[in-house]
């Protein structure tokens, strides 16, 4: 891996007799780029490639040019202009064309904190399997530190195996995605509710009002691990709610605690034109509060039966939203929105989310049970939901610039 610089490949234009790769480094200041190109213009050179990065006030500027002029004269003029600005410059002849066609994958690394050892280990392991790092950029400094590595990998499976091993060993999140247009084509996202969009389990909140919390917690945990049939376990838990005043449903709905970053995630994606919704094994009477609060476009959930006396009967009405039901709901929402399944994203944590995660174009396992993680395209094991945005190619700077523009920018201090 090298510092940001030209790719050494010509793009169109004339066929110059000589290509020069110019690298300028030093303290960033106004006028460096302008002075460099003024020096080049004196010799009528052709610009073939350029790359520039500024990190904490340090500039690295790489330019590939083609020229029919005397390369020694070009070199001397460039060195004179850059030395006058106290910049370090290197000019070398770049023979031959670069056959690379761009990165094949994007690797997103998220940590809190992100240690240098993790980045170093990942880079070394990449070298062992012939993966070249073409570029690195920071995508986030809050609530996690995030880096995006554009890499060229000869073997997709080996890349993913190495990434998974480093992530597991270092306790960080590392996502691998194919580079290209498809990554930018996502247009619809669905979230599971319990322990994903919100921090708790709705049915347990309801069970607190009936005295059946311990029994419900035990069944819920087993169901989410995939140890129990979801529909059977759901009906067993719902029976424990029989006799509960239906007014409690609104009370619980108004008290739901969103997962940190949920508002930012939904708000940002809706700005980009995403259709956003929830697909939940929970209950419509509670989910409606999330739909209103987050301005969601659709919802699929189960409906608790309420008797004429205003009390829960302990039964459900309508179709059950279970593991296959969640996948069907995602497909239905995509069809209604005119969106292909490869343009969808699903985020969930439990065993009943597996079919939905595998059906989506990008399935993200969020703080998921072990049985779930193996079925998802990527995992996110952070207590924040907004890193989902970084996996979709957005940066924290872009998110916060949009928030600042409408007055909604707010950074909550982290513990």
Q: Known catalytic residues?
A: 192, 194
| Tokens matching residue 236 | 């067993």
Spatial neighbors of 224 by CB under 8 A, at least 6 apart, are 195, 349, 350, 351, 352, 369
Taking the C-alpha atoms of residue 74 and residue 288, their distance in angstroms, rounded to an integer, is 68
| Burial readout 134-172 (b: 16 or more C-beta within 10 A, e: otherwise) | bebeebbebbbbbbbbbbbbeeeeebbebbbebbeebeb
Taking the C-alpha atoms of residue 362 and residue 60, their distance in angstroms, rounded to an integer, is 35
414 DSSP 8-state letter: P
The partner residues of 283 in beta bridges, in order of sequence, read: 302
Taking the C-alpha atoms of residue 32 and residue 61, their distance in angstroms, rounded to an integer, is 9
Task: Give the residue from 315, 314, 276, 111 showing the smallest Cα distance to 193.
Answer: 276
3-state secondary structure 112-146: CCCCHHHHHHHHHHHHHCCCEEEEEEEEECCCCEE
My answer on whether omega of the bond before 143 falls inside 30° of 0, hence cis, is yes
Task: Give the residue from 143, 156, 234, 164 showing the smallest Cα distance to 194.
Answer: 234
49 DSSP 8-state letter: E
Task: Give the residue from 220, 228, 216 showing the smallest Cα distance to 194.
Answer: 220
| Tokens matching residue 85 | 């600005």
374 DSSP 8-state letter: T
What is the dihedral sign for C-alpha 292, 294, 299, 303?
A: negative
Taking the C-alpha atoms of residue 47 and residue 69, their distance in angstroms, rounded to an integer, is 14
């Amino acid at each position: 891996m090298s510092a940001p610089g030209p790719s050494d490949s010509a793009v169109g234009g004339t066929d110059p007799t000589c290509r020069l790769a110019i690298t300028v480094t030093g303290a960033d200041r106004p006028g460096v780029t302008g002075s460099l190109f003024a020096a080049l213009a004196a010799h009528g050179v052709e610009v073939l490639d350029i790359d520039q990065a500024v990190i904490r006030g340090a500039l690295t500027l790489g330019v590939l040019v083609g020229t029919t002029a005397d390369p020694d004269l070009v070199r001397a003029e460039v060195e004179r202009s850059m030395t006058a600005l106290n910049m370090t410059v290197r000019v070398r002849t770049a023979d031959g064309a670069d056959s690379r066609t761009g990165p094949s994958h994007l690797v997103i690394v998220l940590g809190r904190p992100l240690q240098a050892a993790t980045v170093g280990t990942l880079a070394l392991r990449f070298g062992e399997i012939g993966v070249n790092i073409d570029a690195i950029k920071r995508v986030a400094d809050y609530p996690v530190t995030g880096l995006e590595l554009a890499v060229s990998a000869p073997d997709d499976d080996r890349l993913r195996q190495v990434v998974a091993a480093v992530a597991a060993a270092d306790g960080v999140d590392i996502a691998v995605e194919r580079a290209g247009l498809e990554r930018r084509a996502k247009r619809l996202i669905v979230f599971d509710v319990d322990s994903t969009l919100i921090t708790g389990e709705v049915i347990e909140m309801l069970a607190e009002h009936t005295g059946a919390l311990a029994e419900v917690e035990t069944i819920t945990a087993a169901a989410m691990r995939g140890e129990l049939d979801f529909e059977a376990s759901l009906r067993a838990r719902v029976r424990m709610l029989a006799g509960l005043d239906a007014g409690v449903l609104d009370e619980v709905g108004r008290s739901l605690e969103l997962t940190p970053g949920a508002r930012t995630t939904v708000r940002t994606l809706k700005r980009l034109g995403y259709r956003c919704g929830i697909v939940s094994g929970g209950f419509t009477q509670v989910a409606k509060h999330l739909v209103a609060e987050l301005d969601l476009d659709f919802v699929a959930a189960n409906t608790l039966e309420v008797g004429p006396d205003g009390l829960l009967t302990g039964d459900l009405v309508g179709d059950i939203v279970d593991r296959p039901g969640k996948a069907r709901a995602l497909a239905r929402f995509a069809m209604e929105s005119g969106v292909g399944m490869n343009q969808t994203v699903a985020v969930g944590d439990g065993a009943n989310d597996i079919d939905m995660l595998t059906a989506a174009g990008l399935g993200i396992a969020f703080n998921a049970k072990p049985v779930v993680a193996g079925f998802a395209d990527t995992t996110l094991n952070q207590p924040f939901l907004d890193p989902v945005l970084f996996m979709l190619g957005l940066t924290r700077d872009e998110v916060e610039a949009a928030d600042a523009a409408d007055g909604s920018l707010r950074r909550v201090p982290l513990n």
